[in-house]
Amino acid sequence: MGKGNLLIVEDEEVLSSLLQDLLEPHADKIGAAYNGLEGIEAVKNNTYHAIVCDINMPKMNGIEFIAKMRELKYEHPIIFYTAHGNEQLMREALSYGAFDFLAKPHFDNLEETVIKALNHGLELFQGTGEVSEPSVDDELAKMIKD
């Protein structure tokens, strides 16, 4: 199994390049789109197992982008990164099935989250429809403080 293909949707070229450099070792292929509309076209023409996307973008913001992607039946993981103050947009993104959120400018856990998303996307792509997730009972047991 490969590492998977990743699309970065970011309107700022500098940041896009930085992310591509950071994530290159973890993906088979990295594509870049500079707004939501380009992102849609990129997904239509290529196979991407996961997407990393800015939530605040001109022309089409992250929410409009994920809404359109889900409409097009693209069910693969979409990770958003966002600056403080966009909490309402984050909650909106949840209803479209956001995979995770990363906080600008530090991008804590960026690589780990992207690897997880690509693995998840590959499992989906390989068609079983079943994605291995930890059992919610086990998760709950971990959360309950003794």
Partner 1 sequence: MILVFSNDDNFCDRMKFYFSNYPSMQDIEIIRQDYSEDLVISKLKIHRPFAIILDFSVELKNINSLFMKLNFIKKCPDYKSLPIFSLFSSKSDLEKYAYLFAMGLNYPFIKGSDEKILFSDIHYLSFESETPFAKYAKAKLNDLPYDGKLVSNIYGFTESSILIESDLYSGAEKLEKITLEFTGEEKTLEVRTQSSYDLGITGTYLFRGEYEVPFLGPWDEPTEDLILKDSYESWLEENEDLFKQKLGRALIVSSRVEDYILAGDLTDSTNFDIYNASTFEETKVFLEFYQFDLIFFRLDRDEDEVKSENTFENLFRLTNAVKNIRNGETIFVAFNSPSRTEAIRKALDYDQVLSVSDDIFKDKLNALISVFEQKGRKMSCQTYCYSPYLNEARCFFNIDLKITSITEHEITFYSEADIPMYSLLKIEVPSSLYLIIVPPTMQLESDKKGVHYMAFITGGEESDAEILRSFVNRAIIGGLEEFSLSSTSKELDIGEALLEDIEGEIIGELESSKVETETEQRKLIVRKTNINGRTKL
Q: How far is the CB of 13 from partner 1 (least distance, A)?
A: 27
Q: What residues contact 43, with CB distance under 8 A and at least 6 apart?
A: 7, 51, 69, 72, 74
Instruction: Using the minimum distance from each CB to partner 1, give the nearer residue, 7 or 98.
Output: 98
Q: How far is the CB of 95 from partner 1 (least distance, A)?
A: 5
Q: How far is the CB of 117 from partner 1 (least distance, A)?
A: 10
Residues 84 to 113: which contact partner 1 by CB under 8 A?
A: 87-88, 90-101
Instruction: Using the minimum distance from each CB to partner 1, give the nearer residue, 14 or 140.
Output: 140
Q: How far is CA 77 from CA 13, 14, 18, 119, 130, in A?
A: 23, 24, 21, 10, 14
Instruction: Indicate the SS3 state at residue 74.
Output: coil
Q: Does 140 bind partner 1 (CB under 8 A)?
A: yes
Q: Using CB under 8 A as the criterion, what x/- string covers residues 52-71 for binding partner 1?
A: --------------------
Helix axes 36-45, 62-71, angle to 10 degrees: 30
Instruction: Using the minimum distance from each CB to partner 1, give the nearer residue, 14 or 136.
Output: 136
Q: What residues contact 55, with CB distance under 8 A and at least 6 apart?
A: 61, 62, 63, 80, 81, 82, 86, 89, 90, 93
Q: How far is the CB of 141 from partner 1 (least distance, A)?
A: 5
Q: In the structure, how many helices (H) and strands (E) does the chain have?
A: 6, 5
Cα–Cα dist 62/58, whole Å? 9
| Size of site (CB under 8 A) for partner 1 | 23
Q: How far is the CB of 87 from partner 1 (least distance, A)?
A: 7
Binding site for partner 1 (CB under 8 A): 87-88, 90-101, 136-137, 139-141, 143-146
